[in-house]
Structure 1
């Protein structure tokens, strides 16, 4: 699934939405999300709003603006947070069966405490994961170099990790290996070229960083369930 976020109509970010990914929008900051299902998979998004009154239980009125700035720096457009994702899923499921307001209020207080806890912003290296800033550094590098060769060693050097430690931390954070994640980014870019451009399939594969037509076709089929030419024919 692809997702684009427009922050205050100035900054555009694009990434993949993976299981347990969340988008945190601090109060006073606008973000428009444009969600595109990947392939034939349906897109399901749960949206939850925590009131300012609830936030004020953890942040005083006079400190709110300064903490909003900290939140903006702390959280990129998308972040991996299985705890927060699980709470949102639970609230969405509870809403469907009609639980009372007490459940929602309790969940809102937990979410506010979780989001505003200082330890969330700290380094997660000791826990075997990448912290939000490290992850954003890696993903930005991937997106900016989709058409060029990118090695695991290149990515590991960005956060000063050994190759082995980086692969383990990246998978623990995203649920995917660096190679798989990068390949999915490249396939998503290739889909855009196939849908809107007139380049040959071989040229599209080259532009998206694949070593050759066979590598492109094999990778595309593994992720999308069809070949690039079949995909283009269905979008014609």
Structure 2
């Protein structure tokens, strides 16, 4: 694919080379894979006519940092691997020499409700390091769809973009006073997402994985999980999985060893021991009792 980007106006300079290796044009956004080569330290003011979202698929060279001149008294801050720059918003940036690959998106608006929200200074600063696992996942999926398109690729990409727009909007518009350090309880949405991860077959998710899912530190997750559920993670997960096992054991099928796997236990023996501690009888005895 050529050198010209449809996402933003790439400056014509010998100090930077941008190659566009793939593109997908959606109804509300354009998404491209960019390969950059920077010859020497870089710096300047970035501004785009449309909203700009960038996930660095490889490390950003040097020590990248940025600041919005519109925020009075703001100092440059490190750029994360996901950055969002609102349309027509100037961002002063600096970064180093080297190469980088990114998935870049351009779109007219980030809100999905048509209200055209204005970002305050706290949200603008948060946009320079977007820490949201769902935004990250959606961008990675769009990159894979560009590189390896398949059946109904455009339709799937539109669906992924809709999810991305919603998650980015939520991230940007959440009250900054409800940041990770000040949360005292998990939200209903966070608890639902935790339950979904616990309900998956296989090993239990780690504290670090769930903390990342909820966009909080591991230490803070310990506190707010217990405050929200009254349980430790291990106790909460075991209770949920035993409840799921009871539902499955209420029917003649599947086999006990499959129930163990579906409910996340590593072995049937481990499942049987946990079930007996919780219920007082073995899984097979419980299934037999359901027949009467």
TM-score scaled by length of structure 2: 0.36
TM-score scaled by length of structure 1: 0.43
More helix by share: 1
More strand by share: 2
Point out the structure with max Rg over C-alpha: 2
